[in-house]
Amino acid sequence: MSKRRAVITGMGVVSPLGCDLDTFWSRLTNGESGICPIHSFDATDYPSRIGGEVNQFDASAYLDPKERRRMDIYTQYAMAAAQMALADSGLDLENENTERIGALVGSGIGGLQTLQEQHAKMIEKGPSRCSPFMIPQMISNIASGLIAIRYNLQGPNFCVVSACATAAHSIGTAQRMIERGDSDVMLAGGAEGAICELGVAGFANMKALSTRNDDPQRASRPWDRDRDGFVIADGSAIMVVEEYERAKARGAEIYCEVAGFGSTCDAFHMTAPMDSGYGAARAMRDSITDAGMNPEDIDYINAHGTSTPKGDGIESNAVKMALGEDIASKVMISSSKSMTGHTLGAAGGIETAVCALAIKNNVVSPTINLENPSPGCDLDYVPNEAREADVRVCLNNSFGFGGHNACLLLAEV
């Protein structure tokens, strides 16, 4: 019996670069930055005062006022991305067996803004004033649950939480579920809404964030010698992952195949990646093996590329280890985070969309702000300008605190 194949037939993106696919892709390939001074709260006293806020998001286009009051912002982003993805897929849920359709949407942190707001209310006004919706608003699985409720999706439904690898693990797990016949369609991805006082303070105090506050659009600069940390960002991306034969039979537009998935753990440190990059390299190799391909088949890698002093060099070493130095030197690599910032648990979803659009359009988006590559960062990072190229096979890397590594291999159908 041949293995069932999983393909992407719909995508929805909410991001600092735009809240629809066309705007997102246009700004990304034009090398525009979505980073700006934080406006959602007074960040004057914070070491890092910049972020990738989702300034173009209109929740009222997707949710009524009552729904919005009962959802954390991360869930609102997820609901919008899911609606866009389903519309893009052309699925008519009224005529589908929704017992065979599921949702797997995670968040690295969950409803942090809800937690902050309700804690303040409890301290100021007493425990009786905490909202009865606090717990369901803040838990990380609620986006997946509410998407299922809205669309009557009765198939598999749960939440992967693996920090910044969350969305990639979600999409890879969806692929596996379709391969083994557990479902025919999965809505998979991630969402994050962590730009608030508590979120920025936590990341800033662990020295993870860039402090280039006077030049926000140039702050996220993966592989550049002057990088000083990542830029926190919000957003969501959800894919409609569908069994290939049914997608083909209904005449769906297919962006690409989710052909391989690799998942490993560094088992090394709470926040730092393994110095050698071995765990990340194994995830890349495993995704290539899972797809039945070879390193020389890879055209493009959308790197994790966060702009941290340590992580970027380690990822470059991991690419060399996974592909071999000769092949690695010929592969195009770029970091979307140079423009979006780091959307944490949503990043793997947003970057899966980047890979799918690269395959569709034969264009690789650039790494902006790369002016002086640091020692050891000597690969082709597609600096500063998008590149037209024949893109048939992509790797998408996502690595999370706790040593979680996830790699997706996406291929032209």
Read off the DSSP letter of residue 179: H
> Looking at residues 351-380, what average pLDDT do you find?
97
Q: Which range marks the domain in which residue 406 is found?
A: 260-411
Tell me the catalytic residues.
164, 304, 342
Residues 193, 79 share a domain: yes
The string of pLDDT tens digits covering residues 129-159 is 999 999 999 999 999 999 999 999 999 999 9
Boundary residue ending a domain (220, 249, 278): 249
Give the pLDDT score at 221: 98
Q: Half-sphere exposure of residue 252, counting CA atoms within 13 Å on the CB side?
A: 31
Q: Rounded to an integer, what distance in angstroms lies between the CA atom of residue 111 and that of residue 7?
A: 30
The string of pLDDT tens digits covering residues 240-284 is 999 999 999 999 999 999 999 999 999 999 999 999 999 999 999
- Angstrom CA distances, 382 to 6, 147, 342, 364, stand at 29, 37, 19, 8
Instruction: Decide if 182 is inside a domain.
Output: yes
> Looking at residues 194-216, what average pLDDT do you find?
98
Tokens of 388: 């037209």
Give the pLDDT score at 3: 84
> Looking at residues 216-228, what average pLDDT do you find?
98
Instruction: Decide if 2 is inside a domain.
Output: no
Residues 193, 279 share a domain: no
pTM of the model: 0.98
CATH number at residue 78: 3.40.47.10
* 144-179 CB burial, b ≥16 within 10 A, e <16: bbbbbebbebebbbebbbbbbbbbbbbbbbbbebbb
Boundary residue ending a domain (204, 230, 249): 249
Split at pLDDT 50, 70, 90, the class of 1 is low
The string of pLDDT tens digits covering residues 54-68 is 999 999 999 999 999
